[in-house]
Structure 1
Amino acid sequence: MLTAFARAFRTPDLRKKLLFTLGIIVLYRIGAHVPIPGVDYQNVQTCVDLARSGNSSLFGLLNLFSGGALLQITIFALGILPYITASIILQLLTVVIPRLEALKKEGQAGTSKITQYTRYLTVALAILQGTGLVATVRSGTLFSTCPVGSQIVPDHAVFITATMVITLAAGTTCVMWLGELITDRGIGNGMSMLVFISVAASFPGALWSIKQSGTLADGWVNLGSVVLIGFVMVGLVVFVEQAQRRIPVQYAKRVIGRKSYGGASTYIPLKVNQAGVIPVIFASSLLYIPALIAQFSSSTSGWKTWIERNFVKGDHPYYVAAYFLLIVFFAFFYVSISFNAEDVADNMKKYGGFIPGIRAGRPTAEYLSHVLNRITWPGSLYLGLIALAPTVALASYSGSNQLSGTSILIIVGVGLETVKQLESQLQQHNYEGFLR
């Protein structure tokens, strides 16, 4: 990987792309530390320090995707999460709404239209989530460990509240624009790169908090153990993320005029983890809803106490079991809507392709669905174990949300895809051809 980056910096146009990507990342990190108007920055810092020492985990995942900007209430507090949510919603609606399904099949023009719809939905979700965040900050429920009497938003005027919401929505729109700039003029997928930077930015602080969790000797032992386990998990994630089942496909040879077409052999790569990190995000978001309802509720009923006892901290057995089962369910659900076996079988039949030993058409679709279900089982179980193991093991340490299995999956997945894209562009530049 380091050799690929060194070779890329020696290539002029790749060097420009890498420097442009680094410049956008610097702007993104600067925006993650600029507070929004109407917020008392000193009280925010006091509450953030107390929340870290208290290991507040309710908004841990949201804060992770914003690179720590959510708890600091900066202009990029919402981060890229509204865009991720909008993209997932559009993918789900593509299966339900025939108009979106037709747009998806139109090629580049249809994809551009769906991307435009995603942008509009991102802005709407940013306004909605920004309103919720401002209401949470004003009510004092964002931090449960703030000193008594410390107000994060001193002025509750309508104009100040509207300014805060507009600033948060504008910050999300700016983050979306920066991600698209990286995609167009930089290296890698821009949105994935910003998520990668947000997650990676919280790692040093989380590791340092583990080092300070005990005495001097115990702190270094804890830090070394976590780093060693982290390397083992990274190796496991790389192994599984690269694993795939290759379905052989043979295309019949056709003669049209004086030219012959087809006759080639290829394969359909089915990854073991076909859904990526999406099921973990779905499951985490769904489990946040009961905790948020209980936190905003003013009653003292038994259901609120039961939720706060079982679903606020991530190491309770009920929470662990529900989290694991939801990850497995959403893995199968997302794979079923993202990979349409019938469409793949129809396209193969249209162009004269077939799987050796399997008849074209419906038998091919049934065979692909059968294989996909079989490899989704180990993929979903792997996702559940990776997402839960670090969370349960580090439950006693502050910063355990930043060192969760979700963050490891994101960092390894985005890193692999970026290096692959960089190596493919390097191969294009190193190809000399027959003519000088």
Structure 2
Amino acid sequence: MASAADNLASSISLSKFAQATDLKKRLWFTLGALIVFRLLSYVPIPGIDATALNLLAQKTQGGVLDFFNNFTGGALNRASVVALGVMPYITASIVVQLATSLSPTLNAIKKEGESGRKRLNQYTRYGTVALTMIQGYVIATGLENATNSPVIDPGWMFRAGAVISLVGGTLFLMWIGEQITSRGIGNGISLIIMAGIVARLPQTLIQLFEQGRTGAMGPLILLAIILGVAALVLFICFMERAQRRILIQYPKRQTARGVQAERSHLPLKLNTAGVIPPIFASSLLLLPLTISQFAGQATTTEGWWGETLLFLNTYLRHGSLIYMSLYGAGIIFFCFFYTAVVFNPEETADNLKRYGGFIPGIRPGKNTEVYFDYVLTRITVIGAAYLTLICLVPESLTAAMQIPFLMGGTSLLIVVNVTMDTVTQIQSHLLAHQYGDLIKKAKLKGRTR
């Protein structure tokens, strides 16, 4: 019965889609912003020879830079002005959130409400500029000193132009993401990352089927990959909708049917952190690896600095044991960290107590807070194990079988999760539009009487 009701609600929502003018404006704005992002990914940094750049990009295929390209839609291989994507912004936001949890001063700013949130966002923007300048300078020097350098006129003018272009491109993407969140549909930053992944999907499928055509990959293996991807998508959808519903009861009230007790449920998602932990963990790993890849092209392997770069490029390459271990540890850490940021057991328990709600068998106040923390910790353990399994097992298989990175669990998780969140927001806007129509009709009927 519940599934039939959901299907009926979905059909009603789709029938009202043509009348939802505000929703269509939001969708068109989101689509236009993503098109601008894709166009910018083809705008190169000034002073780059496209032919030499293509040769250099072919030499780095299969490495960490190719993995980074999944999040930027190939912009890094094209030395685009948005080559770094939104990764510096994500890294800066991680640093600010961690500092907020550790610093009493920043924690006090966070509790100031809207003004505190704006100040923290400003600190995040400053951090984004600093990180982009560092990464941009390393990329510029790496391109200058690479074998068959694609830089037409090396020197400080090229480096300054490259850094300014990359900083401007990253900040513009950050602004586009914020505009999508406020004026469009869905989370803007996540949609930009998903757009970069989806943009490389046709190329990845062509490479995959080409391997099957040439005999480099057996037909049974190709079929197993397709079925595995389909099963993985279904599993992600199932786990992302999984909830732990906590029964909430309110005091008895006098109604037309007599004295009745009101009951509701507090849904706690199994994966409360969503797609944030893999994005955060990958962005932290990609920051030093991107620097080491480009800096390794600009220096020799002599001295402690060269040995450090050689260690990073050798033992932290995509698919290595150390890389996968750090990636899994980062996912688990950010699962618990971001869940603690999103859901505050103390605040939720206080709100329930203020409105007279309670959990049957649990005393309001401190006991309710402890119960929330207990339940949230248990389901977060399952959610962290699920994310780690989804991200690490397919990534290990793709690295061992030389399958394109886009077929990995991290990319599929981001695409499926962001798509589900966006569809949910679209349905919410359609439902709000239906309620608005009902209210208008009710007012019209009241006037005619």
Fold-level similarity (TM above 0.5): yes
What is the CA–CA distance in structure 2 between the aligned matches of 1:373 and 1:169, rounded to whole Å? Answer: 39
1:120 to 1:49, Cα distance in 2 relative to 1, 3 A: same
Matched residue SS, 2:249: strand
Counterpart amino acid of residue 116 in structure 1: Q
> Any conservation in 1 of the 2:281–2:334 contact (CA below 8 Å)?
yes
Partner of 1:145: none
1:104 to 1:349, Cα distance in 2 relative to 1, 3 A: farther
1:222 to 1:254, Cα distance in 2 relative to 1, 3 A: same
Count of matched residue pairs = 418
What is the CA–CA distance in structure 1 between the aligned matches of 2:357 and 2:406, rounded to whole Å? Answer: 46
Partner of 1:259: none
Give how far 1:113 is off. Answer: 3.6
Give how far 1:309 is off. Answer: 4.8
What is the CA–CA distance in structure 1 between the aligned matches of 2:15 and 2:81, rounded to whole Å? Answer: 35
What is the CA–CA distance in structure 2 between the aligned matches of 1:16 and 1:299, rounded to whole Å? Answer: 57
Partner of 1:298: 301
Give how far 1:13 is off. Answer: 2.9
What aligned pairs does 1:358-397 form with structure 2 within 5 A after superposition?
358-396=362-400
Partner of 1:331: 335
Partner of 2:36: 27
Counterpart amino acid of residue 101 in structure 1: N
> Any conservation in 1 of the 2:358–2:364 contact (CA below 8 Å)?
yes
1:398 to 1:68, Cα distance in 2 relative to 1, 3 A: farther
What is the CA–CA distance in structure 2 between the aligned matches of 1:185 and 1:365, rounded to whole Å? Answer: 36
Matched residue SS, 2:211: coil
Percent sequence identity is 39
Deviates more, 1:126-135 or 1:174-183: 126-135
What is the CA–CA distance in structure 1 between the aligned matches of 2:187 and 2:280, rounded to whole Å? Answer: 21
> Any conservation in 1 of the 2:143–2:149 contact (CA below 8 Å)?
no
1:348 to 1:101, Cα distance in 2 relative to 1, 3 A: farther
Matched residue SS, 2:245: strand
What aligned pairs does 1:243-392 form with structure 2 within 5 A after superposition?
243-252=242-251, 264-288=262-286, 296=296, 298-299=301-302, 308-314=313-319, 316-392=320-396
Q: Cα deviations across residues 97-134 of structure 1 (Å, max 9, x unaligned)?
A: 33443443444444334333333332333223222322
Give how far 1:244 is off. Answer: 1.4
Q: Cα deviations across residues 153-199 of structure 1 (Å, max 9, x unaligned)?
A: 24232122111100100011111121222223222222221111111
1:403 to 398, 407, 416: 407
- For structure 1, the residue ranges without an aligned partner over 5 or more in a row are 141-148, 256-261
Give how far 1:247 is off. Answer: 2.0
- For structure 2, the residue ranges without an aligned partner over 5 or more in a row are 1-6, 255-259, 445-449
Partner of 1:137: 143
Q: Which has the higher helix share?
A: 2
What aligned pairs does 1:23-422 form with structure 2 within 5 A after superposition?
23-52=32-61, 55-56=62-63, 58-140=64-146, 149-216=147-214, 218=217, 222-252=221-251, 264-288=262-286, 296=296, 298-299=301-302, 308-314=313-319, 316-396=320-400, 400-422=404-426
Query: TM-score normalized by structure 1?
Result: 0.85
> Any conservation in 1 of the 2:292–2:313 contact (CA below 8 Å)?
no
Matched residue SS, 1:59: helix
Counterpart amino acid of residue 244 in structure 1: Q
Give how far 1:43 is off. Answer: 0.8
Q: CA RMSD in A?
A: 3.1
What aligned pairs does 1:13-24 form with structure 2 within 5 A after superposition?
13-24=22-33
What is the CA–CA distance in structure 2 between the aligned matches of 1:151 and 1:303, rounded to whole Å? Answer: 23
> Any conservation in 2 of the 1:206–1:398 contact (CA below 8 Å)?
no
Deviates more, 1:379-388 or 1:268-277: 268-277
Deviates more, 1:340-349 or 1:187-196: 340-349
Give how far 1:67 is off. Answer: 1.5
Give how far 1:91 is off. Answer: 2.2
